[in-house]
Amino acid sequence: MKKILFVFGVTIAVISCAPRNTEIIEDVTDTTMPKTAIAEGKVVYMKKCAACHDLKTVDNYTSAQWSGILPKMITKAELNEEEASQVSAYVKWELEN
């Protein structure tokens, strides 16, 4: 009985000390814009763009297509320079990741 309890105790100790599976979170490594600009850009994109139409899936369009879309939409949404920069950073990041 002591052997069974010992083996059981050792097994529990090994299991409890084993490393846990962790979720891998993709690192945002855009050197031109801080991470906060990308996050804020997503917020602006979701609020301002959805006010007029359904949100577009960013990677359904190429970078060249977005360079034609963004200036028009930035003007229509009346984004200030900071918001425009943030949305542009977000779209660029989405296309790269």
Domain ranges of the chain: 30-97
Distance separating alpha carbons of residues 53 and 47, to the nearest angstrom: 11
Q: Phi/psi at 29 (nearest 5 deg)?
A: -120, 70
Once rounded to an integer, what is the mean pLDDT over residues 8-18? 64
Which of 8-12, 34-38, 59-63, 64-68 is the least confident region? Answer: 8-12
pTM higher than the cut 0.85:
no
pLDDT higher than threshold 70 for residue 33: no
Average pLDDT, the chain: 79
DSSP string across 31-96: SSS-HHHHHHHHHHIIIIITTTSPPPPGGGS-HHHHHHHHHHHHHHTT--HHHHHHHHHHHHHHHH
What pLDDT does 30 receive? 45
DSSP class of 6? H
